[in-house]
Structures are given as structure tokens and as C-alpha cells.
A and B are shown apart, each in its own frame.
Chain A
Amino acid sequence: MSSNHISGAEIVIRCLHEEKVKFVFGYPGGAVLNIYDAVFQQNKFKHVLVRHEQAAIHAADAYSRSTGKVGVALVTSGPGATNAVTGIATAYMDSIPMVIISGQVPTYAIGQDAFQECDTVGITRPCVKHNFLVKDIKDIASTIKKAFYVASSGRPGPVLVDIPKDITAEKYEFNYPKSVHLRSYNPIIKGHSGQIKKALSLLLNAKRPMIYSGGGVVLGDAASQLTKFVRAIGSPITSTLMGLGGFPASDKQFLGMLGMHGTYEANMAMQECDVLLAVGARFDDRVIGNPEHFLSKPKTIIHIDIDPSSISKRVKIDIPIVGDVISVLTELNDLLTKEKTKQNPSLKHWFKDIDQWRSMNCLSFKNDKKLIKPQFVIQTLHKVTKGDAFITSDVGQHQMWAAQYYPFEKPRRWINSGGLGTMGVGLPYAMGAQLAFPDAKVACVTGEASIQMCIQELSTCKQFHLPIKIINLNNRYMGMVRQWQEFFYGNRYAESYMEALPDFVKLAESYGHVGMKIEKPSDVEPALKEAFSNKLKERLVFMDFITDQKENVFPMVPNGKGLSEMITAEDL
């Protein structure tokens, strides 16, 4: 053995150094002890010890969502890996680039039902972009290189690398490949120029053009190109839940979010447009509702997406453009500049229709003197943070209110689980974002049901001094479940009532944080101001807002209905 041989565990660490990883989120265990020993002996990245592996993946995921870099997590075999699965599936559904390193039992024990053994590669296969089982120390470096490349290129996604324990103890030379080529994997970056020209001419000649942007714009760092393009052609634009921040919400061309809880104007414009440009969005069921109803009004659909399988999956596309959104939008912008095209004269009439829909004021709500309205809390949060915070959310009513009442001006500021809809992500998401941006304001908008799914992370927040502000919209119900039960199940609130809630103030205090209970509308703003004040700048503040139990999210497109078949607050 030559002197430049190092252990497999050290090779893993050196690979992470080569990838300039700043944070590794993880939890130790038997199969990764060699790797942890190597973690202990380095200081180039910080290891963030979570309290449950699920949170490690979520935190790494949010680190990626907020920075655009690859998130990295490290878990042990068996239960470490199975606990990670929810986090991996969450990241997969939202196309988040991540590398997860999992320990495995020694190669000679694989298949013997060894202690803490599970078929990690088999279990995670349907929820990763790709995964690897490393069987030879010689392959560790090249596999990790491939993992980072696959995770971050094309349509991004999580990649898992499973490494048996014996391999991390063996020794071999470290040689990190400079580049990587996979003959079976060549993502298309540049869109077809002919299609791009055709798309532009369609949009410029449309009577009622509409743009619908999704998470792909945020992930592809194409927000400024999109904004430039949309402003140049002057058409209205809406965004999916995942795309919020991809176009400034305060712009008058922006119609708000579309979909099941989208604005009246966004959903109507989607339905009534004659040419639709979809950018990095995937026409999913929560966004366009019933596809047949959606197409019942004839429209020409242009779709820009890096993933060919997203095109014509739920809705037949007339002009597909496969490519990286930033590259295609740049080409569109270049064409516009070159041709010095005039704005479409039909837009005036089109915006007249839109203004009429806007005048419905579909997001208006009545404030109450006694009961705190959850929408009011979010509006006040926006006011107090001057719209410049990172907002993470859990899943449910509070998530929709955050999306509706906190207008996002910049991409990567709104961090939530869109595709999988994973309750419990909010707090670990806030951890990932706060670690990435230690000086930024980070608020986790949650509910009393969701927050309890990863509440143990309050301990991690204490250890790493994360001054997250938790906005707990506490309505003593699993609000979204209750809303569906009210609308569609004859008010039979089966198991949606949260009994035996903890005293969140005492709970927060027991972890060493600041707790506040807010019960009156007049206390909402002072409480938020105090939480974000310099006095509490270094502290995690858990704000337990006791809100109106019966508040519902409007507008709502019932499941399976068309976008224009919304229920609004006034209908009830």
C-alpha cells in the first residue's frame, strides 16, 4: 500500500470537499461510523446534527431550494435510510438537487438480514432521480462525482449513494475525476430555434395571451429572464405554488397564484386565454384541475420544459420546446430585441376582462375584533418583514394562506413541499434556509398539526443557534382536512380535531427558546414586531397564534372540477 492511500471514509469526505460542500445534514449510526470519524477530523464543511433523519433530508433540501446548490445529507443504514425516505420523496417530487449518502451493512453481510440492514437502493428507487450501491472502494470517488452531476443537471433531483461499511474502512488512493460523461444521460439544454420563433409569433399575435410559470423557473434561475420577457410582451402571467417569486408579485401583470386555491383572475385567465405559454410547469391536477374542462375552451399551448416527459403528459401540447428555461427565455428575449416588436394591440381588451375578474377581490376577508384571522397574520407578517423574509411552510391551510397573502418579489424565498405535500417540512426547511443565510429573516408558517410532525428539531435549532420565527396558526384542527370534511363530507370531522395539544409556549421554553401565545387580533402586529426586533434577533421565537377555527381557504376549485368552477368566499 502506498502512502497516499486513505480510507474509503476519508475518500467520501474528500469528495465532498471537492464539491465545495458547506453543510452536511445528518445523523450517525453503526454503518456510517467510519465516515463520521472522518467528518470529525475535518473542518471544511459543517455537520448539522438533526434529531430525526427525515429532518436531515428536509434541511438539506431547503438549503438547496434557498441557495440553488446541491443539498447533502448523511444517514446510516436500515432505519436511518427508511426515515430519510419521506424527505427524499419530497425532494424528488419538487425536483430538488440533492446527494444523500447512506451507510450500508458490510458487503459480506448484504442479504443476510444483518442488524440495521435494508435494501436502501430498492426502497428509494422510485423516489430518486438515480441511486448507486458502491461495491468497490475504487468506485467511491467516481460514483460521488456522478451523483453530484446527475443531481444538479437536466431536471434536477435527489441522488442516493449507498456505501457498505467495510468499504469505508479499506484504503485506496484518492483521485477525484475532473469531469464526468454518461453515455446514457445527455440532458437537452438548448431549445429548438424554429419552435421558439413559432412560439413568439403565436404570443405576439394572440388575442388573449397568457403565461403560466412554475417551479422550473425558480430551479433554473431564470426569474430575471422571465421577468424581462413578460414585461416586454406585456401579457398577464400567473404562477404555480412552486413558481412564486419567479416573477415579482407586485407587478400589475401578475395575476397571483393559479390552481385549486388560485385567484379568480388567474384561473379565469387560464381558462379563457387563446395562447398559453407554460414555462417550467407541469399542468398537474392541483394546478389545472380537470384537463378536459381546461381544454374545453380552445387554446394553443406552448410548453417550455427541460424534461421531455413533462410535455403532453396531462395536456396535449401544440408547441413543445424541450430545453433549459433560462436558455430558451434568453433566446426569446434576444429575438424580441432584434425584431423590435411592438406590443400586441389586443392586450388592452384582454386586460379589461382581467380587471373585471380582479374586481371580484377574491382574496378579501373580513377581519374580526375578537378572533384572529389567519390571513391577517400572514398580511401582518408581510408588513413586519417588509416582504423580504424567507418563508417556509408546512402543508395545509396555512400553506395556502402564506402563498396567497405573502407576495414574493424574489425567487427562492418561498420554500414549501408542493408535489408531495409533506406535513412536517416547515421547521427543517427553515433550518436549511437559516443556515444558508444566517443574517436573513426566516419565518416558518405552520399549523399546530404540521409542526408536531418534526417538533423535535427545536432541539437542533437550539444547538445551532437558529433564530427562526415560527408562526403557528393554531386553529385546533387539521384545517385543510376539516375544510374538505365541511365541504364534501357533511361536516363529519373524522379525526381532524387536534385534542391534547401541548402548551407551545412552555414547549418552546423547555427547548430554550422564546414562546409567545397571541389570542387577540390587536396583539398580532406587536407580537410579530417584537419577534423580529433586535432584542430577539438571536432567538428562535415560537408564536402560537390562536386563530379562527372555522376559517376556510378561498377561492377553491373542488377536486376534479374545472378551473373556472371555483367556490369563492361569497358563494357560501
Chain B
Amino acid sequence: MRHIISLLMENESGALSRVSGLFSARGYNIESLTVAPTEDATLSRMTIVTSGSDEIIEQIIKQLNKLIDVVKVLDLNDGRFIERELMIVKVKANAQYRDEMKRMCDIFRGRIIDVSDSSFTIEITGSSSKLDAYIESIDKAAILETVRTGASGIGRGDRILKV
């Protein structure tokens, strides 16, 4: 099953490679991994999207907690949470595709952030599955380039990950 794991870690050089090294050394999947400093500059927040059986997810959480630089770990799937990912897509927007691309962008509540004679650059946010759905819905031949940030997640309501 797909899990989104959020963690707070010391914002130190090498901390990222400790986490990514753990995943490769123990053969765990990483679907995506995003990291950036938090409002407290000494801490980074990382979101890892992974998949595995309950036993494997339990081991992943334990192994992450074992890393000396990791301060807190939360499996967002243990409760209610919100997930968002940003995708920027450059699509063909010549005469053949221009209307279609505008319409699909509106349907997925995206925004066109750059325009040229022959292309649109579109920004879309949502859950990773929504972004997948957008890609599925448009003509593959029209896609020039895509870039995705990987998912970020946060617990709903009172669920707070903080030191």
C-alpha cells in the first residue's frame, strides 16, 4: 500500500543522503522524496512517498527513527491528511491543440503560466493521483515536457508534526 511519511530532521549537510541511503541499502521503494527547510531554519521537513506491506512500512518508520539526524517521523496514513503535489507541464498549443489544452487546463483547475505561439506552460496542483489523471486525459503526443515536485503532505485539523 502507498504511504506518505513525513519527517522532521536536522537541517545538516548529509542528512538527505542518510535517508536516501537507508532506502536503497534496505531495498525500500521511494516513489518520491521532497525536502526543504521549515520556518525553523535548523529543521528540514521531508515527505517520502513509499509503498510496501504493513511490516515493511513499520520497519521503514523504525529505521527512519533510528537515524540520529531524524527528530520526528509520522506516517500520514495513520490518520486523516491532505496531500498536494505541483506539476508544471509544457504542452503543444498550436492550432490543432490550442483550444483543447485550454479546456483541459480549466477542467483540472490548472493555470497557464507561460504562453508562446506553439506551447502553453501549465501549472497544476493536487494529489498525485489527480496529476496522473490529467496526464492520462490529454493526448500524449501533445506533451512536450513535465516536471513534478513529488507529494507533500500535512495532517488534518489537530494532527501536527512539530518539535
A-to-B contact residues, CB < 8 Å: 121-122, 125-126, 129-130, 133, 150, 182-185, 307-309, 311-313, 316
Kindly report which residue of chain B lies nearest to residue A122, judged by CB atoms: B17
Q: How far is the CB of A167 from chain B (nearest CB, A)?
A: 16
B68 x A182 contact (CB < 8 A): yes
By size class, the interface of chain B is 20 to 34
Q: Is the CB of A184 within 8 A of B17?
A: no
Query: How distant is A406 from chain B, measured CB to nearest CB, in Å?
Result: 34
Measured CA separation A130–B18 after assembly (Å): 9
Q: Please name the residue on chain A nearest to B60 by beta carbon.
A: A309
Asked whether any CB of chain A lies closer than 8 Å to the CB of B89, the reply is: no
Give the CA-CA distance A130 to B59 in the complex, in Å.
19
B62-91 interface code vs A (CB 8 A; 1 in, 0 out): 110110111100000000000000000000
Contact A309 B62 (CB under 8 A): yes
Residue numbers of B with Cβ under 8 A of A are: 9-10, 13-14, 17-18, 21, 25, 55, 58-59, 62-63, 65-66, 68-71, 163
Given A121-B14, A125-B17, A183-B163, residue A309 in contact with residue B66 (CB < 8 A): yes
Partner of B66, one of A125, A126, A183, A307: A307
CB distance from B121 to the nearest CB of A (A): 35
Do A126 and B25 touch (CB < 8 A)?
A: yes
* Chain B residues, CB < 8 A from A309: 59, 62-63, 65-66
Would you call B14 and A133 a contact (CB within 8 A)?
yes
A contact residues around B9 at 8 Å (CB): 184
A-B contact pairs, 12 of them (CB 8 A): A125-B14, A125-B18, A129-B68, A130-B69, A184-B10, A184-B68, A184-B70, A308-B62, A309-B59, A309-B62, A312-B59, A313-B59
Contact A185 B17 (CB under 8 A): no
Q: Is the CB of A312 within 8 A of B58?
A: yes
Chain A contacts of B163 at CB under 8 A? 183
Q: Are B55 and A312 in contact (CB under 8 A)?
A: yes
Say how far A7's CB is from chain B's closest CB, in angstroms. 25
Cα of A312 to Cα of B53 in the assembled complex, Å: 13
- The interface residues of chain B lying within 8 Å CB-to-CB of A121 are 14
In the complex, are the beta carbons of B14 and A183 less than 8 A apart? no
Q: Which residues of A contact B63 (CB under 8 A)?
A: 309
Contact yes or no, B58 A125, CB < 8 A: no
Cα-based distance from A122 to B21 in the complex (angstroms): 10
Contacts of A311 in B (CB 8 A): 62
The minimal Cβ–Cβ distance linking A413 to chain B, given in whole angstroms, is: 30
B-chain residues with CB within 8 Å of residue A122 when the two chains form the complex: 14, 17
A183 and B71 within 8 A (CB)? yes
Q: How far is the CA of A135 from the CA of B139 in the complex (A)?
A: 52
The residue on A at minimum CB distance from B71 is: A184
Q: Which of A185, A311, A312, A316 has the most CB of B within 10 A?
A: A185
Residues of chain A within 8 A of B66, CB atoms compared: 307-309
Q: Complex: how many Å from CA A308 to CA B63? A: 9
Query: B68–A185 contact, CB under 8 A?
Result: yes
Q: A214–B68 Cα gap in the complex (Å)?
A: 24
Q: Which residues from A are CB-within-8-Å of B14? A: 121-122, 125, 133
CA distance A121 to B12 in the complex (A): 13
Tell me how far the C-beta of B65 lies from the nearest C-beta in chain A, rounded to whole angstroms: 7
Q: How far in angstroms is the closest Cβ of chain A from B78?
A: 16
Q: Which of B17, B21, B62, B63 has the most CB of A within 10 A?
A: B62
Cα(A121)–Cα(B17), bound, Å: 11
Complex Cα distance A151/B142, Å? 56
Chain A's nearest CB lies how many Å from the CB of B24? 9
Interface centre among A129, A184, A311 (most CB of B within 10 A): A184
Q: Decide if A184 touches B58 in the complex (CB within 8 Å).
A: no
CA distance A149 to B10 in the complex (A): 18
B70 neighbours in A (Cβ, 8 Å): 184
- The residue of chain A having its C-beta at the shortest distance from the C-beta of B25 within the complex is A126
Chain B residues lying within 8 Å of A129, measured Cβ to Cβ, are: 68
5 cross-chain pairs, A with B, having the tightest CB-CB distances, nearest first: A309-B62, A184-B71, A130-B68, A308-B62, A185-B68
Instruction: Report the Cα distance A185→B65, complex, angstroms.
Output: 9
Which residues of the other chain, B, contact A185 by a CB distance below 8 angstroms? 68
Closest to A146 in B: B68
B56 to A: closest C-beta gap in Å = 10
B101 to chain A, nearest CB (A): 44
Question: B27 to nearest A CB, angstroms?
Answer: 13
Q: When chains A and B are docked, how far (Å) is the Cα of A307 from the Cα of B70?
A: 15
| Residues of chain B with a CB closer than 8 A to A313's CB | 59
Report Cα–Cα, A12/B27, bound state, in Å: 38
Q: Which residues of A contact B59 (CB under 8 A)?
A: 309, 312-313
Q: Which residues of B contact A316 (CB under 8 A)?
A: 55
In the complex, what residue of chain A is closest to B15 when comparing beta carbons?
A184
Residues in B whose Cβ lies below 8 Å from that of A130:
68-69
B11 nearest CB across to chain A (Å): 11
| CB neighbours of A307 from chain B (8 A) | 66
Contact B68 A308 (CB under 8 A): no
How distant is A182 from chain B, measured CB to nearest CB, in Å? 7
Q: Are B21 and A125 in contact (CB under 8 A)?
A: yes
CB distance from A236 to the nearest CB of B (A): 30
In the complex, what distance in Å separates the CA atom of A125 from the CA atom of B69?
12
Question: Which residues of chain A come closer than 8 Å to B58, judged between CB atoms?
Answer: 312
